[in-house]
Amino acid sequence: MVAMSGGVDSSLAAALLKEQGFEVMGATMRLWRPPADRREGGEEGRKNLPDPAEDARRAAETLAIPFYVFDFIQPFYERVVQYFIDEYKRGRTPNPCVVCNKRVKFDLFIEKARNLGAELVATGHYARLSYNEEEGRYLLLKAHDKKKDQTYFLYNLSQRQLQHILFPLGHYRKEETRRLAAAYGLEAANKPESQEICFIPGNDYKEFLRREGKAKEEPGPIYDTEGNLLGRHKGITNYTIGQRKGLGLALGKPVYVLEINPCTNSLVVGGEEDNSFHGLYAEKLNFIAGKAPEQVLEAGIKIRYNAAETKGLLYPVVDGRARVEFPQPLKAVTTGQSVVFYLGEEVLGGGIISKAIK
């Protein structure tokens, strides 16, 4: 069963697997109902809205494979959207794609696919899998195309899940993907990539949190690191750690959001020197091998998807938390974001940043 979004990557994944001799089915997850579709008369309004499943359905027809639509709207809201809202209200900056992969795409989707008789699930993620015979376990590896590598979003996968997963695009570069998709006659070959979170059109977080999260835009104080009042903010959900623009402060030098305190409805800002951190603590950890390293380990560290990987020391887990130290300070280490640990090409695991260390 291939998880098909209608984009070029998942469409080609289905085509490649069919050519390799697999009996392939496709399915789209319906995850989100736009607000206009929820109002009275929404059924009528839906006729004028693009159906994200239609592109996937046409790809399935081109490939002559069975196609399904899985309605995950309710669990997606409960497991992903509500998490996103709650984290922002806590003054943190969540990554909903990481949570969706953990709690929907590689949980509910696998369960639904297996109920329909599928033995394996495939996606269009740029990642690779390998099986280590000596250790008797699966390895999650970076894609060959390092610019498109998506293992950052997959660190929550378990050995139980990996035995049912295929990543057909792990050895391809994006330009090869488009060329092959065109050769297979797939309409999605030239479809532009979406850079948005699927449930936030236009990436307008502020409007989304106002509408869905009933976020109160209650103004509050902005302090410097010494506790001096510098100005007023427009509501804490409008800000993220490391933000520089839009603070409404004229101090003669750039300042950055260092802390968001929902209990006091306040922000703390500081200069360039205050926005650098020598380490972090991470919680809600997962290690692909099923167990955490027992010794201090020099690992590759990524604190954001688009951040460059840097070297760091990963310390053994204590009380459910891992400590990471950087030899050179990093900017804008953001609570709520994921940190992912690598050993060369291999993904060791990761967790949620709970605290930045000065």
Beta bridge partners of 140: 129
327 Cβ contact list (under 8 Å, min separation 6):
311, 312, 313
pLDDT at 142: 98
Nearest-10 Cα torsion for 198, 199, 203, 204? 170
Reduced to 3 states (helix: H, G, I; strand: E, B; else coil), residue 301 is strand
Mark out the alpha helices in the chain (DSSP H runs).
Answer: 8-19, 42-46, 52-63, 73-76, 82-89, 96-100, 108-115, 159-162, 174-183, 205-211
Q: Which of 126, 130, 156, 164 is nearest to 144 (CA)?
A: 126
* Catalytic (active-site) positions: 100, 198
Domain-wise residue ranges, the chain: 2-203, 216-270, 275-357
pLDDT of residue 296: 97
Domain 2-203 indexed as CATH 3.40.50.620? yes
Q: Which two tokens stand for residue 183?
A: 């050769």
Fold of 216-270: SH3 type barrels. (2.30.30)
Asked: is 275-357 a CATH 2.40.30.10 domain? The reply is: yes
137 CB neighbour count, 10 Å cutoff:
15
Q: pLDDT tens digits for the chain (358 residues)?
A: 999 999 999 999 999 999 999 999 999 999 987 665 544 444 433 444 456 689 999 999 999 999 999 999 999 999 999 999 999 989 899 999 999 999 999 999 999 999 999 999 999 999 999 999 999 999 999 999 999 999 999 999 999 999 999 999 999 999 999 999 999 999 999 988 877 788 887 788 888 888 887 767 799 999 999 999 999 999 998 898 999 999 999 898 999 999 999 999 999 999 999 999 999 999 999 999 999 999 999 999 999 999 999 999 999 999 999 999 999 999 989 999 999 999 999 999 999 999 999 8
**Res 75: pLDDT:** 96
Question: Is residue 236 within 8 Å of 259, Cβ to Cβ?
Answer: no
